[in-house]
Amino acid sequence: MVNAPTTVVAGVPAVSVQQRGHWTDDTVDRPTMDLTTDAAKAAARSLRADLAEQHVMSSHARALELVAHQLGFRDWNTASAVLDRSRDDAAGLGAPVPILRVQRFDDVRSFYLHHLGFVVEWEHRFEPGMPIYARLARGATRLDLSEHHGDGTPGSAVWVPVADVTALHRELRRTAHPSMRPGIEQDAPGGPTLTVIDPSGNTLRFCEAG
């Protein structure tokens, strides 16, 4: 039997063709390697440097996607969710889902769907006329919106990691919202950050971590 070929990108542990595939964040049988997201980010920086020496320009976000594909993951969001998961966590904790208290749900829903690009995973009311609870999703991010009085306080803040905050900024300019024109704070703690406030006063800080 001939062994499947392997390749190495910027110091990333080799992954055979047999191992590669579209691993999701809940995949059990995935490549076994001791690698953290910090190590993968370092590999992406090395990859960019190597490509630059060959006069090939690449953004950091694109390099992260290439490293994720090399490791056999569908995309960087999936890779980062899996790489730092504790292998000995018997309880199997997943990513937390923030609950944002909202009013005027239809206005807030429209803001998240038409301006921020989220989709509705599900909505729930106990009966017609009762407060609504909904889960929205975009990529690996999940946000719950609630009209129920016990679910948080309007004006909460959520920190959302993104692979390319500049690309998100361009997108938001295309889907311009009449009440805001956010910019990118390059020197924000944690990395370049784009801040958006929803119609209920909740703040979303989209940050491209270095």
pTM of the shown model: 0.60
Rg (CA), the chain: 20
Two tokens, residue 68: 């994720």
Q: Which residue has the higher pLDDT, 74 or 97?
A: 97
Domain that holds residue 48: 6-83
How many distinct structural domains can be found in the chain? 2
Q: Answer whether residue 171 is part of any domain.
A: yes
pLDDT digits (tens, 9 = 90+) for 130-170: 999 999 999 889 999 999 988 988 899 999 999 999 999 99
**How far, in Å, CA of 77 to CA of 82, rounded?**
9
Residues 125, 195: one domain?
Answer: yes
| CATH code, domain with 156 | 3.10.180.10
Q: Answer whether residue 18 is part of any domain.
A: yes
Helix (H, G, I), strand (E, B), or coil: what is residue 152? coil
Q: Which residue has the higher pLDDT, 192 or 40?
A: 192
Tell whether the model's pLDDT for residue 37 goes beyond 90. no
Nearest to 61 by CA among 72, 51, 76: 76
Look at the chain and count its residues: 210
Tell whether the model's pLDDT for residue 119 goes beyond 50. yes
**Domain final residue pick, 52, 83, 114:** 83
Q: Answer whether residue 195 is part of any domain.
A: yes
Residues 155, 201: one domain?
Answer: yes
Residues 70, 108: one domain?
Answer: no
Q: Answer whether residue 93 is part of any domain.
A: no
Helix (H, G, I), strand (E, B), or coil: what is residue 107? helix
Q: Are strands 157-161 and 203-207 parallel, antiparallel or unpaired?
A: parallel
Tell whether the model's pLDDT for residue 6 goes beyond 90. no
Type and span of the H or E element at 95: none
Task: Determine contact, residues 34/82, Cβ cutoff 8 Å.
Answer: no
Residues 120, 169: one domain?
Answer: yes
